[in-house]
């Protein structure tokens, strides 16, 4: 079983805010106890993933 570096196995609730590329996403917290103001964001890069690139074909 895989463990995190800190040994914390808690699950967090978040919503995808933006997908800047095929192997990276930015999530924003949706915790009920979040402080008012700017919500915390986290950028997640998916390793060992090769996303296909979109190509514009002009015919």
Residues 1-55 pLDDT 10s: 444 555 566 777 889 999 887 788 999 988 766 567 778 889 998 888 776 766 7
pTM for the whole structure: 0.57
Residue 39: the pLDDT is 80
- Between CA 38 and CA 11 the distance in angstroms is 21
- Between CA 51 and CA 21 the distance in angstroms is 8
- Between CA 30 and CA 11 the distance in angstroms is 12
Which one is predicted more confidently, 57 or 34? Answer: 57
Q: Is 31 exposed, middle or buried (0-12, 13-18, 19+ CB in 10 A)?
A: exposed
Q: Which among 31, 26, 25 is positioned nearest to 11, based on CA atoms?
A: 31
Residue 38: the pLDDT is 77
């Amino acid at each position: 079983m895989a463990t995190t570096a800190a040994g914390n196995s808690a699950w967090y609730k978040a919503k995808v805010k933006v997908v800047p590329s095929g192997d990276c996403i930015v999530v924003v917290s949706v915790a009920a106890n979040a402080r008012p103001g700017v919500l915390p964001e986290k950028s997640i890069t998916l390793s060992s993933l090769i996303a296909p690139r979109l190509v514009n074909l002009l015919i």
